[in-house]
């Protein structure tokens, strides 16, 4: 079942692109296990489940896909380490709403980590990756592109060239600098935090707003300011950014979309005078 809602005149769909399991320590950063295991039960290897939740916005003029997902270009070892299950895929999800990858004309990447952009290419033959959304322009921050094409010792386990270099070779990438309106109603803001040039994506229509938070808040269990991930490159920046974004989210009643939550792809942010929390969106 594909969940959907309306934002003004836009239709917003919460797609699936499978699931994977990450080490709970990595997923909850400095939060001790005695605290995070009250929120989510780890498996026998201390891993917790993450879904891949790409978001589709149909504006009437454009079909905008945000963070296509995990994809399936993984070897046996990776599948085992991350317990990857790439079903239903983003392509299966599109089929469920009567669409194909060819219908997508805009892809926006919050950042280029494999679990967000893996689904943007597929193996045509072993070692040869080709674009999946071949009619789409892929909007990527220039700084993120630079970092992802020159991974360092800390980031090389998360940036895989086959997920985005083929897009550039096919002429499907538009590099953007800073906060940009991509088409009327669809815009990005650079947040940093998770990666240096990480961006979030807004869909705005008739005074209503949906925002895709990408790596800023991955799940309901990461709404609390201090609950950052071990994978966040700049966790202190994320904490500051969350406060600022939460204030705007509450003031403007944003529908906040969560990339990796297994149960709640969309929430509203709440504040009780002391702590930030959430309310799941009722579809
Ligand atoms: Zn990431």
Q: Say yes or no to pLDDT of 136 above 90.
A: yes
Q: How far apart (Å, rounded) are the C-alpha atoms in residues 248 and 7?
A: 17
Distance 259 CA to ligand 1 centre (A): 10
Q: Average pLDDT, stretch 92-115?
A: 98
Distance 151 CA to ligand 1 centre (A): 13
Q: Average pLDDT, stretch 188-198?
A: 97
Q: What is the CATH number of domain 3-280?
A: 3.60.15.10
pLDDT at 153: 86
Q: Residue 129 carries which DSSP code? A: E
Distance 183 CA to ligand 1 centre (A): 25
Average pLDDT, the chain: 96
- Per residue, the 3-state secondary structure of 199-253, as one string, reads EEEEEEECCEEEEECHHHCCCHHHCCCCCCCCCCCCHHHHHHHHHHHHHHHHHCC
Confidence of residue 180 (pLDDT cuts 50, 70, 90): very high
Q: Average pLDDT, stretch 70-97?
A: 96
Distance 228 CA to ligand 1 centre (A): 12
Domain segments of the chain as ranges: 3-280
Confidence of residue 230 (pLDDT cuts 50, 70, 90): confident
Is pTM beyond 0.85? Reply is yes
Confidence of residue 152 (pLDDT cuts 50, 70, 90): confident
């Amino acid at each position: 079942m594909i969940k959907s809602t309306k934002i003004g005149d836009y239709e917003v769909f919460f797609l699936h692109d499978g699931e994977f399991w990450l080490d709970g320590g990595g997923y909850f950063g400095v939060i001790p296990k005695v605290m995070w295991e009250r929120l989510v039960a780890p498996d026998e290897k201390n891993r917790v489940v993450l879904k891949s939740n790409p978001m589709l916005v149909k504006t009437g003029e454009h079909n905008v896909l945000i963070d296509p997902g995990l994809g399936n270009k993984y070897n046996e070892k990776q599948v085992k380490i991350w317990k990857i299950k790439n079903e239903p895929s983003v392509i299966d999800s599109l089929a469920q709403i009567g669409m194909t990858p060819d219908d997508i004309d805009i892809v926006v990447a919050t950042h280029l980590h494999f679990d967000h952009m893996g689904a943007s290419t597929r193996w045509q033959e072993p070692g040869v990756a080709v674009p999946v959304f071949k009619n789409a322009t892929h909007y990527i921050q220039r700084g993120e592109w630079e970092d992802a094409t020159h991974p360092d010792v800390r980031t090389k386990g998360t940036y895989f060239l086959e997920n985005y270099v083929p897009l550039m070779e096919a002429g499907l990438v538009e590099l953007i600098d800073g906060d940009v309106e991509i088409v009327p109603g669809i815009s990005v803001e650079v947040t940093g935090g998770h990666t240096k040039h990480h961006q979030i994506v807004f869909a705005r229509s008739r005074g209503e707003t949906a925002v895709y938070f990408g790596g800023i808040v991955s799940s309901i269990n990461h709404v609390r300011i201090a609950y950052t991930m071990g994978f966040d490159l700049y966790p202190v920046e994320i904490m500051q950014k969350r406060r600022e974004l939460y204030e705007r989210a509450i003031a403007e009643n944003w529908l906040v979309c969560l990339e990796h939550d297994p149960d709640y792809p969309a929430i509203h942010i709440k504040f009780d005078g002391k702590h930030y929390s959430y309310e799941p969106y009722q579809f």
